[in-house]
Chain A
Amino acid sequence: MGCAHPTGEKGGLVTVKASADEVRQAFAGRRFALLIGIPQSHDEHWQPLRYAKKDVKDLAAVLQDPLRGRFAHVESLTTPAQTTREGVKAAVARLAALATQPEDVVVLYVSAHGTLARDARGELERYLVTSDADFHRVSQTALPIDALSAGLLASRSRRRVVVLATCHSGSGKSLLPEDVASELASLKGALRPLEEVSRASIVLSASDFLETAREDETLQNDVYTHWLIEALAGGGDRNGDGAVTATEAHDYARRRTWVFSQGRQRPSAEMVEVGADPVVLTGDVKRTGQPELYSYVPRLDGFTLRVDGVERAELPGGAAVGPGAHHVELAKGDEVLLTEEVRLEAGERLDVDSLARRTDPFLSMTATGGAFGFIDSVSRQQLLPVSPALGVAVRFERVLLKRITVEADLSGFGGQGALSLAPQSPGVPFGWSSILVGVSLAWQWDWRWVSVWVGPRVAGLWVQRSFSLDAYQGTQSAFSVTPGLLLGGAVHLTPHWEVSVGLQAMLAAVVVDGVTQTLGFAGAWAGIGYRF
């Protein structure tokens, strides 16, 4: 195998004139699309779809627009002959073969009926109702949805997008066999969502599982498709970088579909291998975009993303923000999953799920300094004075019910002083040392940078006094189990460092001169903590 060099001899380098733009263009991915609209099956059980063909036509227009999509190849299948089970499979294979580089973008769009049926293994499977599908023999005649994603796996592209403007709920753009519908009613929620079984890089679904994808006469399109087209035409450029990515387009269409359908249709998405490498569907990145916060993981579905106290997006989805420091919060109702300070640069894209995973659950270790002592003055004069204390506290935040925080603390204190046993009498000099070990179960509230927790605690208090007097040399020690209350608070200086304070009030049973006394014991501390 030869190589080139500048002498022009065989195997030498060849000088080629090429501009930077030309080089970039050469390495930029090309865009290919297969758009499938199946308005009708030969089986009349499925009602015809009015806008399946128009969905394909409108979407093709924006993808082929030389100013926006600039797709190198767009194939549309809308006739009964083209949209048979085998016809669709063959078209998917052709699409996969077109992409020869990882940077190539491959889009597969389907607007059709969907349905559910048992496959050969007896498992409930999602099917695309192709033009030759038979209502009574779905598994033999229709095309499994998984086959669409699987067909794209042959492609060398790692920028694959599947858009499903269909549903499998049995209403709207789907119709289920009677036995399946009956079984589905009893199994509702037990099936895995489509997005979890897909192996495509991105699956954008016009409706969530068991929800209805709808066509609309006013919009003259499938509802989701209408807004998707509008997003691809430029409306979805959330971060203002000149390009519309798959996630930007989906978020744009998703929110508007949700509003338009008055909450009845909730498009969903699964993201794989996406983040730093967004899939650009239309336009070009002409400038560095605004930083973006996003998440598409199912576990954060329904959470609201607040940035600097302002509600910016409902997850799954995302929002563009200005560069700089931001306070990010994920909440669902009163439940706050995450409060985090982040600093974002222009063009940066941050998956908030990574923040949630990093900070949930929280474990903090705090070095503390404070003071402890009996509440009443007589005990402070005659048993133990107020003592400076050093300690450590370990806090497991929100370990139960996402509100309950467990805190364990250890404090040691000691010193030299004098007992004052009678008025105007000289003090009785002595030294003391003490250890307080406690555990608390506290209810925690979080507001932005501040957390406050309060709850019951129980501790063991051990006290030792040492005397070296003319007529008494020796030590005395006492131990008491002390139930009480903890009030704590922390200010989060950074995602990891915090300043915290604590107040503890306890009841200690102490035997004094042979008589058990129940005495109030309290402490206050402040500390610097590190959160893991």
Chain B
Amino acid sequence: MKRSLAIALCALSACGGLENEPFKTGTIRGQLVAADANAVVAVVGQPALVTHPDSAGRFTLEAVPLGTVDLLIVVNAALSHRQPVVVGGASVVELGALEGRRSGKLELYVQSVGRHVLTGGTVSLVGLPLTSPIVAPENEAEFFVPAGCYEARVVVPGLPETTVSGCVGEAGLFEQHLDLEPPDGTPGSEGCSITGCEDGLVCQADFSCR
């Protein structure tokens, strides 16, 4: 009965169908040489498209959108790479063996204007699956990345979120110091009465550390 109905509908209007969805993404494959446990392969601007190579350094990145994508490859702390890749619909792009180049280093030092203690802060690179904690005692976050320009987002509880941009060359260094000031009326404005003060400083009545 259903079959007859389907045939009748087909004769009267339309049946079958065309599918384009399978052709809107592709796959990238490759193998990283000398990859360590921190190795990662990601599509810049699409944080969900990230993968970690297996122990042999082989990786497969699926469902990559059609077109040209910027591929971030971190082999280890010393070697990384960014590479444009043209992805065709329902096609597999074989990149072969990838060795990486010498990484540049992004260093960010974060402190509050009131010298409060910073806890739970992180820095992430915008559009990349790379995040680093802000580590005491110097409140430092660092990234080993391929040569290029990046935007970093700094998130510290009690302090306003901020971003900073910078470029780094191959084996180069980009260093940036950030002083974060809690805005009036925010929880941070109550200062050290909540966060405490850095070593050697005492919380004052105006909530500043001296």
Identify the closest chain A residue to B68 (Cβ).
Answer: A424
Return chain A residues, CB-CB under 8 Å to B89. Answer: 419, 421, 425-426, 428, 469
Docked pose: A471 CA to B17 CA in angstroms = 19
Instruction: Tell yes or no: A467 within 8 A of B by CB.
Output: yes
In whole angstroms, what is the CA distance A470 to B90 when docked? Answer: 6
**Chain B residues touching A, range:** 20 to 34
Report the bound CA distance from A382 to B21 in whole Å. Answer: 11
Q: How far is the CB of A173 from chain B (nearest CB, A)?
A: 68
Knowing A467-B90, A471-B92, the reply to whether A421 touches B17 (Cβ < 8 A) is no
Is A480 touching B67 in the complex (CB atoms < 8 A)?
A: no
- For B14, give its contact among A426, A471, A478 (CB under 8 Å): A478
Asked if B23 and A428 sit within 8 Å, CB to CB, the answer is yes
Residue on B nearest A482 in the bound complex, by CB: B14
Whether A472 contacts B90 in the complex (CB less than 8 A), given A510-B14, A511-B14, comes out as: yes
- Interface membership of B98, Cβ < 8 A: no
B14 engages A516 (CB within 8 Å) = yes
B13 interface residue per 8 A CB criterion: yes
Residues of chain A lying within 8 A (CB to CB) of residue B206: none
State A510–B16 Cα separation when bound (angstroms): 8
Q: Which B residues between 17 and 39 are near A, CB-CB below 8 angstroms?
A: 17-24, 26-27
Q: For residues 27 through 57 of chain B, which have their beta carbon under 8 Å from a beta carbon of chain A?
A: 27
Do the beta carbons of B17 and A478 come within 8 Å of each other?
yes
**Binary contact readout A368-392 vs B (1 if CB under 8 angstroms, 0 otherwise):** 0000000000000011000000000
Known: A471-B90, A472-B22, A472-B23. A421 touches B10 (CB 8 A): no
A223 to B21, CA, bound (A): 88
In the complex, chain A residues 494-524 whose Cβ is within 8 Å of any chain B Cβ: 508-514, 516
Interface centre among B67, B68, B88 (most CB of A within 10 A): B88
B23–A421 CB distance below 8 A: yes
Asked whether any CB of chain B lies closer than 8 Å to the CB of A481, the reply is yes
B62 to chain A, nearest CB (A): 9
Residue from the set B10, B14, B22, B91 with the largest chain A CB neighbour count within 10 Å: B14
Report 27 cross-chain contacts, Cβ distance below 8 Å, ordered by A residue: A382-B20, A419-B20, A421-B23, A422-B24, A425-B66, A425-B68, A426-B66, A428-B23, A428-B88, A467-B23, A469-B91, A470-B27, A470-B90, A470-B92, A472-B22, A477-B16, A478-B14, A478-B16, A479-B10, A479-B14, A480-B13, A481-B12, A481-B13, A509-B14, A511-B14, A512-B20, A513-B19
List the 8 closest pairs (A to B, CB-CB), nearest first.
A511-B17, A425-B67, A478-B16, A472-B90, A428-B89, A509-B14, A469-B90, A425-B66
Given contacts A425-B67, A509-B14, list 13 more A-B pairs with CB under 8 A: A422-B24, A422-B66, A428-B88, A469-B23, A470-B92, A476-B17, A477-B16, A478-B18, A479-B10, A480-B14, A481-B12, A512-B18, A516-B14
